[in-house]
Chains A and B, each alone.
Chain A
């Protein structure tokens, strides 16, 4: 059974960088059949896609966040990471990591989500 778990600080100060890690168990992030995504959800609002990374190393970012995002992977530790720079209160949200299936088959495994609050 594939499991994903987000970890990182729950509180980040404005203008600083939000850094989260998604640890994957029960499957390898090196598998060519999947990609690995970050999605966020402000309280009471909808889902917002942040970006994804493939086992090949290819990365796609949300156009609206592209200038502030970095997604990377550490295959030796079977995890992938998100860095979001210059955060503001608008970046306060529950951040999810998820496994996506190639051929546009949806994201079938999600982490439990982690709340990140941007506040001084």
Chain B
């Protein structure tokens, strides 16, 4: 099976840069999407195809993917960015989600 591994939690101070990683075997050869989920809400797509931002997503969200690791970077993190973040990739026609990372802004 194909697994995506994320750190359970990441902490960042307001205004600083947060980096959330997602690791998987040869992940750099696949497209990665990232979702933000706040309590009680549905997931929101913030990055697709490794580094593309959907319309309406702030420029402070960016992504990269190389080797075995994809990274979601949030520059100038704001308190409103506190949420759970999930990476997602396709593997053999199936979709795989990472376990999620809780981003704390404090």
| Closest chain A CB from B95 CB (angstroms) | 4
Question: What is the interface residue range for chain B against chain A?
Answer: 20 to 34
* B90–A46 touching, CB < 8 Å: no
Question: Closest chain B residue to A64 by CB distance?
Answer: B1
Are B45 and A47 interface neighbours, CB within 8 A?
no
CB A110 to nearest CB in B, in angstroms, measures 4
A-B contact count (CB 8 A): 62
Find out whether the CB atom of A49 lies under 8 angstroms from the CB atom of B42. Answer: no
- Is B48 touching A46 in the complex (CB atoms < 8 A)? no
Contact between B31 and A104 (Cβ–Cβ < 8 Å)? yes
Which single member of B43, B45, B90 contacts A104 (CB below 8 Å)? B90
11 A–B contacts from the bound complex (CB under 8 Å): A46-B97, A47-B88, A49-B97, A62-B94, A96-B43, A103-B49, A104-B30, A106-B33, A106-B35, A106-B48, A107-B35
| Chain B interface residues (CB < 8 Å from chain A) | 1, 30-31, 33, 35, 37, 42-45, 47-49, 52, 54, 86, 88, 90, 93-100
